[in-house]
Structure formats: C-alpha cells, structure tokens
Amino acid sequence: MYRVLIVDDDRLVRQGIISMMPWEKYGMVVVGEAQNGERALEFLKQTPVDLLFVDLDMPVMDGISLMEKSLEFNPKLLFVVLTFHEDFHYVQSALRIGALDYISKLEMESTDCDELLKRISQKVEGIMPKTNIKPDNNAKLRLTKVHNLHTVDEKEWDYLVKKWNEMYWIYDDTTFEELCSSTRELGISIWRVAQVLLHLTSEAEKNICSVGKEVPEYDNLDDFFQWLTAFREDLYKKASEETNLDKLQLCIIKAVIYVKENLGMQLNVEEITQIVNLSRSYFSINFKKYTGMSFKEFVRQERIKAAKILLVEKDTLVADIAQDIGYEDVNYFIRVFCGLTGMTPGEYRKQNLRKCN
C-alpha cells in the first residue's frame, strides 16, 4: 500500500477527498491529513509517507515551500498537486520540483475520481514499490467506495452550482429545500456535489461561526444532504449562542433566527438593527445581499410558511392563526396568503387535509 498524506487548508474539502476516493482499490491508504505546510512537515517527521496530495495555495506555508522542505529529509517522497490555480508557470514550478501530477479542483468537480486515482497510481507504480501495510479499518475513511460517471444535464448543473454559490440557502429554508430537491433530481454524483458544497460550508464557517462537524461516510446523495441539513442546523445553534457580533454574516443569521422565533410579534427593522448593532440602511442592504430578499419579504415568507403548518396541524379559526403569526387584520392576512400561494387559507387547508387523509 502507498501511504498518503492529504494537505489542504480547507478542513471539509480534506475530509471530502479522504472519504470519497476509492483509495484501497488503487493500493493506497490515507495515513493522515494536515491543514498547512508546517503541520504537514511535523507529520512527515514522525510518520512514514509515500505520497502527498498537496494544495498549492495555503497559509503559513504554501505547497511549493512544503514540497521543497520535505524533499530535504525525504528525497523519495512523491507529490500530487491540488489547486484552483490555472497559472501555467505556477503549476510548472510544482512539476519541476517533482510533482507527479496536477489536478485542478475544478476538474475534480467534473471528473470521475476513480479515473483520477487510476491515473495517479499508474505513475506511482512506475517509480516505487508498494509498502506492505494494511489500511486502518477503524478510521473514518471511505476506502472502498467506487464512483461511477453519470450522464447529466451540464447546463442545469452549472445553473444549480451558481444558485448554491449564491449562499441564500444558508439563510432561507425554502431555497435550501428546493436546491436539495433539484440536485437530487439531476442525478449528479456525490463526488461532484460534495466538492461544491463542502467548500461552501467551509466558507460559511469562516464568515459566520465554526461548527466543526466532521464529514461522514456517504452511500448516496440522501446521506450527504442529511449531513448538510445537520450542518446547517448546527450552524444556526452555534450562531444563536454567539455573543461577539464581529462578523456581518453572523449578524444577518442572528436576525433570521430572531424572526423565526418571534413571528407572533410586530417585527420591524428598527428592533432588529438594535439587536445586531447595525444601522438600518447598512442592515437592510446586507440582509438582501445575503438572503436574496428584503427583510419585509423574508418576514412575510416565514409567516406564511408557519401559517401553512398551522392550517394543517391545528383545527383553529383562520383569524386565530393570523393572530398567532403576527397579523392583527385577518383580511390582510388572507390577501397576503393568496398572493404567495394562489389560494385562500381555507382552500389550502382543505387541499392539504385531503392529501393527509
């Protein structure tokens, strides 16, 4: 077995690469991971490694420096470069130092990872014999999974990637549910989905708060989306407990949480801005920027969403439901409900109770 160390500053991307690649099939075993060059050097001095998958662009010590320093005490070490960089000269520098292969992270989103490892293993086998070690069966790694290519509508996938990258799904439940559903229907591989979304969850942690949720073994997209749903719930929980409002997106998600928890109150921008310590204009501009809708639109959407649930689950008057979600005027509530759903509250209740029965 060839001993592999994964070096990338993005924790969730590291875990995604580890858990989804069919390492054992191509005679490899992941023996560790590191978040930057310095940590990788410490690991290399203590643990035998044959092959590094190394990101070129990392803080503390970049991939090029890591390659140069690690060769000083292990001249036989082999490298595979992982990068978003398309700069030919930058990549050439890595290849001159001794990198076996260059893999664009963008390529990893559209290429079968089985084929990637097959290509790399053939190059490794031509240089060094395999080390006779067994993979750690207790490690939380998906070593035996084989990934198949799927024929998908690439234009539709590109559109969905764009929508995921807007990050509205972090703040809006409806957008999140719609994107999960559309991605499932497209039949895209777990590998391609995870490569996009693990990067975005890392961005959410950087810009809102750290969750520290490990990536599990996935068997299908449903498993992955269950993890993503749990990640999102944990993000909200951690954000609700955070008292240091030094990040703008943390302030936005706190406003979202406050709305969800206080739908029966007379919610207004002035009250929210005092809670998150932002000026009204700055809050309004950025709330729409990160959620995709104005604060007023978001409140209206959340109230009608809550009304739908109450109409089906409770046998109470429409006027009482209107009061419960913050509408004192039942006629105004009915107009808003019709505008967003295309039916009256009574019609919605009858239609959905019929489905339940």
**Distance (Å, rounded) from C-alpha 53 to C-alpha 99?**
10
- Which pLDDT score is estimated for 139? 39
Residue 10 has pLDDT above 90, yes or no: no
Q: Which residues contact 327 (CB under 8 A, 6 or more apart)?
A: 303, 333, 336
Q: What local confidence, expressed as pLDDT, does residue 88 receive?
A: 56
Mean pLDDT score, 114-137:
71
pTM, entire model: 0.68
Domains (range + CATH), the chain = 2-125 (3.40.50.2300), 299-356 (1.10.10.60)
Nearest CA to 17 out of 182, 147, 170 is that of: 147
pLDDT band at 356 (very low <50, low <70, confident <90, very high): low
Tell me which of 50-59, 72-81, 124-133, 255-264 is least confident: 124-133
- Work out the average pLDDT over 93-98: 72
pLDDT, tens digit (0-9, with 9 covering 90-100), for 203-226 = 899 999 998 877 766 668 888 899
